[in-house]
Amino acid sequence: MKAIFYSTMSYERPYIIREQERLNNELKLLDCRLTLETASLAKGYDVVSVFVNDDGSAPVLRELHRHGVRMLSLRSAGFNHIDLDEAEKLGMIVARVPAYSPHAVAEHTVGLMLALNRKFHRAYQRVREQNFSLDGLMGFDMNGKTVGVVGTGKIGELVCKILAGFGCKVIALDPIENKHCLDLGVQYVPARVLFERSDIISLHCPLTPETRHFISREALSAMKTGVMIINTSRGAVIDTKALIDALKSSKVGSVGLDVYEEETNLFFKDLSDQVVHDDVFVRLMTFPHVLITAHQGFLTEEAISEIARVTLDNISRFGNGLELGLNQVRAAVQISAPRGSVT
Ligand code: NAI
């Protein structure tokens, strides 16, 4: 198989190359994103491999198909960026890595909570400037606080487990109740109740038409004053402009984000010597109680190694005419479908 990989990062290339050594594929690793403009680079390749901010829209897929591409191999669990109906029409197989390390994202999520609560990001700067004052660094005990978890799939379940260990009361929202969460004592509640009761709200649902802007102006107004919101799922689950207004009025106390609605043109790049033109994002960064990481929840050795292994396996199986099983993503699968079949 000849495969071309878009959006490869320096941190993942050694893992891809290591996996490649045991398989018989011919790979080309590119830095650039897949877009309509870069699709022609795939000419002569059977497989295109993409990451979360590559463009998998219908025009791009048609262009890839025109150049002879027969398979799209996602190095992610999420597939909301791929037009599956178009891929099916074109007869293009789409495969993904359904689970690599839910621990990586769950642990990052709780890391954001702790950092915001105990203000590590501010304390770090202060101490480096020899400012040892504690003013403004007051946190709260996690023990006894109510945390609302939206989406108790693979990642949400682990978040519930860690928080239960802290002595938090965990309430959750998910159309499908997770037995392991119920066993932990997690109580499933309607959205309104979750908004009203939670001291911290953590988002772990997929991005679907139903969950787009789930954290809306109305949802924010139903929340406790001073609530902490953490999003490591997909940016558009939050209406960012409404969130900024809620931060300005102090309705929302603190926010931890690993994802952002318009992250495609920002994240995974070094823009340190450039002007950022996204005023919404820039405003978000001005709040002292907002902590943003650039979509790094998955970034552990275990997760990256597993992504490389499964991606190369998917490509080899396709090349050898073997079934891809649950790793194949089909248009018929609704992205609001139950755990295991989404993101
Ligand atoms: P999963 O598929 O195991 O779980 C998702 C859960 O959300 C399911 O239980 C599903 O029933 C539930 N759900 C669906 N619609 C819902 C709704 N309207 N309201 C409440 N719950 C709903 O997915 P997984 O692996 O746990 O991933 C969760 C999220 O984390 C996804 O959005 C994924 O894109 C994101 N993610 C983020 C990463 C990062 O680096 N920040 C890395 C990997 C995943």
Question: Is any ligand 1 atom within 6 A of the Cβ of residue 176?
Answer: yes
Residue in 203, 206, 280 with CA at minimum distance from that of residue 240: 280
Question: Is any ligand 1 atom within 6 A of the Cβ of residue 174?
Answer: yes
Distance CA 221, CA 215 (A): 10
Instruction: Give the Å distances, CA to CA, from 181 to 13, 57, 126, 135, 197.
Output: 36, 36, 39, 38, 18
Which residue among the candidates 12, 63, 86, 263 is catalytic per the annotation?
A: 263
pLDDT in the model for residue 341: 29
Beta bridge partners of 292: 257
pLDDT in the model for residue 109: 98
- Token code pair at residue 223: 């929340």
pLDDT in the model for residue 231: 98
Q: Are 82 and 329 in contact (CB under 8 A)?
A: yes
Which residue among the candidates 33, 81, 96, 295 is catalytic per the annotation?
A: 295
Question: Is any ligand 1 atom within 6 A of the Cβ of residue 342?
Answer: yes
- Judge residue 62's burial from the number of C-beta atoms within 10 Å of its C-beta, 0-12 exposed, 13-18 middle, 19 or more buried: middle
Instruction: Give the Å distances, CA to CA, from 241 to 217, 236, 263, 281, 311.
Output: 9, 11, 14, 9, 36
pLDDT in the model for residue 336: 40
Residue in 96, 82, 42 with CA at minimum distance from that of residue 65: 42
* Residue 317 bears catalytic tag: no
pLDDT in the model for residue 76: 93
Which residue among the candidates 234, 261, 306, 309 is catalytic per the annotation?
A: 234
CB within 8 Å of 283: residues ≥ 6 apart: 244
Rounded to the nearest whole angstrom, what is the distance from the C-alpha of residue 25 to the centroid of ligand 1? 32
* Residue 263 bears catalytic tag: yes
Question: Is any ligand 1 atom within 6 A of the Cβ of residue 159?
Answer: no
pLDDT in the model for residue 22: 76
- Token code pair at residue 333: 């699968």
Nearest atom in ligand 1 to the alpha carbon of residue 78 is 34
pLDDT in the model for residue 55: 97
pLDDT in the model for residue 78: 85
pLDDT in the model for residue 87: 98
Distance CA 283, CA 19 (A): 42
pLDDT in tens, the chain (343 residues): 899 999 999 999 999 999 988 777 899 999 999 999 999 999 999 999 999 999 999 999 999 999 999 999 999 988 989 999 999 999 999 999 998 999 999 999 999 999 999 999 999 999 999 999 999 999 999 999 999 999 999 999 999 999 999 999 999 999 999 999 999 999 999 999 999 999 999 999 999 999 999 999 999 999 999 999 999 999 999 999 999 999 999 999 999 999 999 998 899 999 999 999 999 999 999 999 999 999 999 999 999 999 999 999 999 999 999 999 999 999 874 444 333 322 2
Phi, psi angles (nearest 5°) of residue 73: -110, 110
* Residue 108 bears catalytic tag: no
Task: Provide the strand spans (E) within 42-189.
Answer: 47-50, 71-74, 93-95, 146-150, 169-173, 187-188
pLDDT in the model for residue 21: 84
Q: Are 171 and 197 in contact (CB under 8 A)?
A: yes
